[in-house]
Amino acid sequence: MESNNNLLESKILEISNGDVVKKKKNYYIPVFLMILGLCLVMFNVQSQSVEADKINTVLFFVGAIVFVAGAAFMFLQKEQYLHKPSGKILKKDQVYFNVNDLDKLKRLYAEEKFDEMANLKKGIDSGCMITFIGSVDAGVYYSQLLKYEPYTFVPCSDAVRHSGETNSKIKVLIDAKC
């Protein structure tokens, strides 16, 4: 097992030859929501009249909820990969296999026989996995084979870019996972 291999997430930008870029997080919407929430709360604090007591209470809670939603949205955003030629966001998938089939899995992976991998025993606690990052329409896929060693998955192969008919076989494998 080669320990000098990096995980697919850190290699995808390099092996894509500029076709894949990291999509930057969008901070405009969360900041707008937070400012809107603060404005609603401040409006409530400024207009304390007896006639509008119920409206002020509703505005205060709506403002607080909008502010908290904006803050949560800001911190919970994940970075995504974008395939520049197609303009599509790439999705990450994992298919888990039994560790006893590792040698066969390595051979099938090297030969890109993903249709035959569908016949191997799968399961989330099985010890091996293939990580795929690709488009939903199977236009492009990148993958890497990993094996579980205590507390982490380590690469068994380099990150690979797939093309042509292999992509449709990968899509079938991902759709058939347990």
pLDDT at residue 2, rounded to an integer: 39
Query: How far is residue 14 from each of residues 6, 17, 33, 62, 116, measured CA to CA in Å?
Result: 11, 6, 36, 45, 29
CB 117 within 8 A of CB 104: no
- Cα 124 to its chain centre, rounded Å, is 18
pLDDT at residue 3, rounded to an integer: 39
Q: Using alpha carbons only, what angle is made at residue 106 by residues 100 and 112, rounded to the nearest 5 degrees?
A: 135
* β partners of residue 92: 133
Burial class (CB in 10 A: 0-12, 13-18, 19+), 159: buried
Model pTM score = 0.70
130 phi and psi angles, rounded to 5 deg: -115, 125
pLDDT at residue 67, rounded to an integer: 93
156 phi and psi angles, rounded to 5 deg: -105, -10
pLDDT digits (tens), the chain, 178 positions: 333 445 887 788 888 887 888 877 778 889 999 999 998 888 777 766 556 677 778 888 889 999 999 999 888 887 788 888 888 888 888 888 888 888 888 888 888 888 888 777 777 777 888 889 888 786 888 999 998 888 888 888 888 888 888 888 888 888 876 5
User: What is the Cα–Cα distance from 155 to 145, expressed in whole angstroms?
Assistant: 6
